[in-house]
């Protein structure tokens, strides 16, 4: 653990862009995703820093965040103001620095985790130069959250299998199974549930450009959920890429981690990308077609009514799944529950009774 005296010259920040998710740590005047472009030649050891956060009233012992950078030769630190400090936001506040665990992927996607041993209400995130090669260092932070990690509840019905609690092989659409995208096994036992509702999300992060990029993003999300947030597995049951690929996440018959306090019997489907201003990724028709196909199957299999399909913001204090995607949920629900296929039937048989029976059977199918 290290201690710093924070001078006013360190309080600047190159922060742009926005995604106002009320589950994220708030910084005055700053929105998510937090972005910065920094001239390396003009910087010393500190490449990038957020301002000191607004007051965090929740009790927490872990801070997690994820985003993208364009150079991996960096270190991450979290600076906090201990609750015992009598001065909070002064330019000479004494801060305690934590060096946590982190992982930076070859494509620049990163996550970081800091376990906090001191009570605090104010934090800031700092990037340290460790031999950066680029002239302009770029960072984008999609999410920064505080967590209160606690022990597993007692007397829960737990299971260890994955395939037994997944959709069967007879599904009428292509599902990219866990073994196909090389999912890691769950860290602990699952808890069984019976799907009765569906919640639509967006990942509010990286927007994959192709299939390989989508596979990498699903792998990253599972890694972040398991090793930064401390969850047993990826939180969503299904993820959909911009090209319409449907990925199997956590098995559908076990409790996920996608709506705080409302995960039991709730199937989480997340479309990869950020569909909220000012990012506004394109909601592709392929992704819409895929989510309609998936929800149609799930509502038939589990007898889920139309009024039990939600956007994340309907169930919690968040902007998820973004204004763009949320605006399409009524259309998605209508097509899931009211669309009927047009079938052209041409039957030429000598037996008119048989011909009529076949026609009636097809029309009533």
List pLDDT tens digits, range 55-73: 999 999 999 999 999 999 9
- What are the φ/ψ torsions at residue 163 (nearest 5 degrees)? -65, -40
Of the candidates 31, 19, 17, 30, the residue with the CA atom closest to the CA atom of residue 204: 19
Domains of the chain: 2-147 (2.60.120), 158-338 (3.40.80.10)
pLDDT value at residue 152? 53
Distance of alpha carbon 363 from alpha carbon 97, whole angstroms: 69
Looking at residue 356, what is its pLDDT? Answer: 63
Q: Based on the number of CB atoms within 10 Å of its own CB, is 232 exposed (0-12), middle (13-18) or buried (19 or more)?
A: buried
* Whole-structure pTM value: 0.82
Question: What is the DSSP annotation of 104-119?
Answer: E-TTSEEEEEEE--S-
How confident is the model at residue 149, as a pLDDT?
A: 85
107-129 residue pLDDT tens: 999 999 999 999 999 999 999 99
């Amino acid at each position: 653990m290290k201690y710093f005296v924070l001078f006013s010259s360190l309080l600047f920040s190159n922060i742009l862009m926005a995604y106002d998710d009320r589950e994220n740590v708030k910084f005055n005047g700053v929105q998510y995703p937090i972005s910065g472009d920094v001239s390396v030649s003009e910087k010393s050891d500190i490449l990038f820093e957020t301002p000191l956060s607004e007051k965090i009233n929740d009790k927490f012992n872990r801070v997690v965040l994820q985003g993208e950078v364009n150079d991996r030769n960096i270190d991450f630190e979290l600076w906090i103001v201990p609750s015992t400090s009598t001065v909070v936001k002064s330019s000479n506040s004494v801060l305690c620095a934590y060096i946590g665990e982190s992982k930076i992927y070859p494509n620049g996607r990163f996550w970081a985790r800091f376990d906090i041993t001191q009570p605090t209400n104010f934090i800031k995130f700092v990037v340290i130069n460790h031999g950066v090669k680029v002239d302009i260092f770029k960072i984008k932070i999609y999410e920064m959250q505080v967590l209160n990690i606690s022990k597993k509840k007692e007397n829960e019905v737990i299971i260890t299998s994955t395939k037994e609690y997944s959709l069967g092989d007879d599904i009428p659409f292509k599902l990219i199974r866990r073994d196909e995208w090389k999912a890691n096994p769950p860290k602990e036992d699952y808890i069984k549930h019976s799907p009765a509702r569906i919640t639509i999300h967006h990942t509010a992060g990286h927007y994959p450009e192709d299939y390989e990029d989508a596979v990498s993003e699903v792998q990253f999300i599972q890694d972040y959920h398991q090793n930064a947030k401390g969850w047993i597995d990826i939180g969503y049951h299904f993820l959909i890429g911009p090209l319409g690929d449907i990925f199997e996440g956590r098995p559908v018959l076990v409790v996920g981690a996608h709506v705080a306090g409302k995960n039991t019997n709730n199937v989480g489907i997340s479309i990869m990308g950020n569909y909220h201003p000012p990012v506004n990724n394109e909601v592709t028709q392929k992704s819409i077609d895929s989510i309609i196909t998936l929800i149609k199957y799930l509502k038939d299999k589990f007898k889920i009514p139309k009024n039990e399909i939600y956007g994340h913001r309907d169930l919690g204090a968040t902007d998820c799944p973004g204004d763009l995607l949320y605006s399409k949920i009524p259309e998605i629900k209508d097509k899931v529950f009211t669309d009927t296929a047009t079938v052209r039937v041409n039957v030429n048989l000598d037996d008119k009774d048989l011909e009529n029976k076949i026609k009636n059977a097809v029309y009533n199918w």
